[in-house]
Structure 1
Amino acid sequence: MKTVLLITYFFPPQTEAGALRPFYLGKYLKDYGWDVSIVTPPAPPPGASPPAPRGEAAAFKRILRKWPAFQILKNVRNSLVYFPDAARSWIPQAVREANARFRSRRIDALISTALPGSAHIIGAIVAKQQSAPWIADYRDLWTENPYRPFGHVRNSIERSLEVSVLRRAAAITTVSAAFAASLSLIHGRDDIDVIPNAGDPQDWQGISDLKPAAFSLCYAGRLYKGKRSPDLLFAAMAALRKAGDPAGLSVRFDFYGPEGEIVHEAASRHGVADLVFVHGVVSRQLVLEAERASAALVLLLRDDEAVSDEYGSKIFEYAGAKRPVIALGRSGSVLQTFLDRTGLGIFVSTADECAAGLRRLYERYRRGEFEPEYREGWSTFTAPALAERFAAVLDRICSQA
């Protein structure tokens, strides 16, 4: 059996969504002829899942966040100190560890998966030092990522770095055709392999699949400092309750993740604080149990054309929960097309559409219908299939080396 070295900044027991794709590779590549040796930080990276501030600390943070000069200074500091990203201090350690793995056993290829971009820097250094074929996997875009807070000068410098680093990659993989098109322009190559994110049916073994006890909505994930916002959802919940609609009188919203103070503030603005429950960062097992216990699952997208090509990985986890999805974002998103094609849920762009969607979901829940209305012939992309696709790329680049 051949061996691949997998370089990843995120890996379980971290609860970050970015930990799942490398975890599935580590779990299933052996079924397709590849043993996996994993290089990852020995402990959760600082700030990977920070607890939400409380009390006076939370109040002080809210004041600072509303001061424009503070955000400008913070962005300048981050731009200078964390170049190319907060994982920069891990690079020397990871390179040493990777080279030690090559010395201790035969390794036939390596994969780095990003973000952060530092993972690709490590991959490029090790690939050069060991003359090994290398796959650079983009779970998210690097310098084209719409969630980056940096300006034009910083982005231009880092774009040059990205292009230089990736020149040595024997293959580039990513999660969607839209990302592949962007990467083709950046790197001047048309051989980008698309391997979607996946869900693992085994994740749900032992988790009850009973009718939800209440008309509860669940969101599990990050808000990216408010770039993903629950305001539209809360406005719809408030309008339904004010109108005396049964959906508005029955609904509750459960939030799992960091940045809970953003959720509290939004709920208070819309007068639905009593319907909103913030649970903070919990284990992945508890998240899956919460998703399965919900009547519907919420996806929040940034209201920006720049993210219209964004799928994310959460939709595949939600598919495993077997609960309908209500996604909120700008019309025209690829996720809107995906939901229409699969029957996994509904996509809304306005408060009125959201209210109508909640009414529809409530009526189905009231009738005891709490699974998605799947389109005939559709099935989710699974973690074993993801590993099989990566194994095929590994076999190809090794045969060309």
Structure 2
Amino acid sequence: MKRGSTPKRSPRVLYLAFFFPPSRSSGVYRARATANVLARRGWDVTVFTAPRRFFTEYIGSTDPSLEQSIDPAVRVERPDMGYFRWERDIRKFGRWRANNPVLSNVVYNYFQQHFFPEHYGSWIPRVMAKALRMHARRRFDLVVATGNPFAAFAAAYWFKKLTGVPYVLDYRDSWTFNQFTEEHKYPQGHPAWDWERRTVESAALTVFVNEGLRAWHAERYPAAAGRMTVATNGWEPELLGRATYPGPATGRPLRFGYVGTITEPMPLAELFEGWRIARRHPELADATLELYGHLGFFKQTTEALLDRIPLNGDVGVTYRGALAKTQVGEVYRELDVLVFCVPGAKFVTSGKVFEYMAAGKPIVSVHAPDIAAVDVLTGHPLWFGIDRLDPNAVANAMVAAAKAARDLTEADFEAALAHAQRYTRDATLAPLERQLRRIAGWPVSPEIAETGAAATEAAVLETASAQDVPAGTVTSDG
């Protein structure tokens, strides 16, 4: 190094992502992808996530294969937390709780009301202590917090208060708004509203997964509306690989399939009744509907969900069980038609839709016709949507998709892949990454602005600066 020169360093980000591998929660894929994209684009990435035992011992929700997909450059830290809300074994209670069960509940509820209104609040002090120690040794340039849980937002807010480091909020889910029922989660006057307002209004940028959610929050918090944007979810070629043309599905029974976590709010009644009706058609008389994935996100939901699946009738429905993320690509290749079944209405996109598109197979929609995912599916040449959520509409879409699978052309297959290519994680997150650099006070170097990212960004209104990030939408296709 020449005398007087300063050593080069990368922009340093603290990424607060409570749910991160080995967790298998629905939001973990966006968090994992964000950390990986930042690392690949030259950031020094430190992730703070939950203690491993929370996933393995308390909620029983893990996919160990996901850890193998984290970029080796990403540093993962696991600050501890309290387990009051989840610990049910009295042999593991501390002396205070064991001897004062009623009073300990009163104290716990008091802190919920007056410190932070979320069961994950005990994570915040540990996050702060570790983050401040690391920051004292080597400065962070930016904090990015993703929720839920929203304790991550509060930690980012307090960290800025103490250090001046700007932060960005990434709403994988809504805090105070139920996007499935389109109702408020909390009554007016609940402390969650005040916390959301202060964290959003103090953020350098707040990111949402679709335009509907951005618009709702912009109306609720107009002081921060100019610093709100959208970064859609996407899919990971490094996990799925590139699909290959399978040819028409002729001379054998068709295989329909759902791949993803099966949850209580899903329209399962419409799905299975629509399937029964569709199987009356000669094209589907011997077809099968195969379900892959976990039954809920928590072990206590398994039996109730299994009871809703018609496994004991002669309707061709089978439950194949859970998959490791590394097995998903193989299952997509084996199926002929993919069933996209999700709950909710216009504020719901779902992360699974992007993988479905990348498989290059016909897709049947089983959901409300106005959900946000429709914006993503529009233009996909092998998508078969419905104009209303009822069994007959579902059956008609299944029959149409079956015919498309029988007649699948290489041209339609390639057109489907071209549509999906616009939604790789690199494509959807590249414009956001450039915004993060500006907020952190780092210029976008020429080697970061590679051809693919530049082409993606050319179609995006993205003029943020570290001081002022105007309203916009960060998507892969503008």
* Alignment TM-score, normalising by the size of structure 1: 0.80
Which residue does the alignment assign to 1:7? 16
Q: CA RMSD in A?
A: 3.3
In the TM superposition, what whole-angstrom CA distance separates every residue of 1:69-112 from its partner, at most 9, and x where no partner exists?
A: xxxxxxxx9x9698744433322222222223212323111100
Alignment of 1:202-221 (within 5 A): 202-205=238-241, 210=246, 215-221=254-260
| In the alignment, structure 1 residue 392 sits paired with structure 2 residue 427 | no
| In the alignment, structure 1 residue 362 sits paired with structure 2 residue 396 | no
The Cα of 1:369 is off from its aligned counterpart by 5.3
Which residue does the alignment assign to 2:215? 181
- Tell me the secondary structure at the aligned position of residue 246 of structure 1: helix
The Cα of 1:214 is off from its aligned counterpart by 5.3
The Cα of 1:143 is off from its aligned counterpart by 0.7
Alignment of 1:2-401 (within 5 A): 2-43=11-52, 45=55, 46-47=58-59, 49=61, 84-147=117-180, 152-153=186-187, 156-188=190-222, 189-191=224-226, 192-205=228-241, 210=246, 215-224=254-263, 226-241=264-279, 243=280, 245-259=282-296, 260-268=302-310, 272=313, 275-302=316-343, 307-348=345-386, 349-367=389-407, 374=415, 378=419, 379-399=421-441, 400=466
In the TM superposition, what whole-angstrom CA distance separates every residue of 1:178-230 from its partner, at most 9, and x where no partner exists?
A: 11111212222222121111212121238887567852233233444x21122
Larger proportion of helix: 1
The size of the alignment, in residue pairs, is 369
Segments of 5+ residues of structure 2 without an aligned counterpart are: 1-9, 64-105, 297-301, 442-465, 468-478
Query: In structure 2, do the counterparts of structure 1 residues 185 and 344 end up closer, same or farther at CA, with 3 Å as the change threshold?
Result: farther
Amino acid at match of 2:229: D
- Tell me the secondary structure at the aligned position of residue 438 of structure 2: helix
- Tell me the secondary structure at the aligned position of residue 16 of structure 1: coil
Tell me which structure has the larger Cα radius of gyration: 2
Percent of aligned positions with the same letter in both sequences? 20
* Alignment TM-score, normalising by the size of structure 2: 0.68
Query: In structure 2, do the counterparts of structure 1 residues 240 and 346 end up closer, same or farther at CA, with 3 Å as the change threshold?
Result: closer
Q: Which has the higher contact order (CA 8 A, sep 6+)?
A: 1
Give the Cα separation in 1 of the matches to 2:356 and 2:164. Answer: 40
Query: In structure 2, do the counterparts of structure 1 residues 109 and 377 end up closer, same or farther at CA, with 3 Å as the change threshold?
Result: same
- Tell me the secondary structure at the aligned position of residue 129 of structure 2: helix
Query: In structure 2, do the counterparts of structure 1 residues 97 and 324 end up closer, same or farther at CA, with 3 Å as the change threshold?
Result: farther
- Tell me the secondary structure at the aligned position of residue 306 of structure 2: helix
Contact 1:210–1:293 at 8 Å: present in 2 too? no
Contact 1:136–1:171 at 8 Å: present in 2 too? yes
Segments of 5+ residues of structure 1 without an aligned counterpart are: 52-76
Amino acid at match of 2:291: D
- Tell me the secondary structure at the aligned position of residue 308 of structure 2: helix
Query: In structure 2, do the counterparts of structure 1 residues 209 and 361 end up closer, same or farther at CA, with 3 Å as the change threshold?
Result: same
Contact 1:295–1:323 at 8 Å: present in 2 too? yes
Query: Greater shift after overlay, 187-196 or 199-208?
Result: 199-208
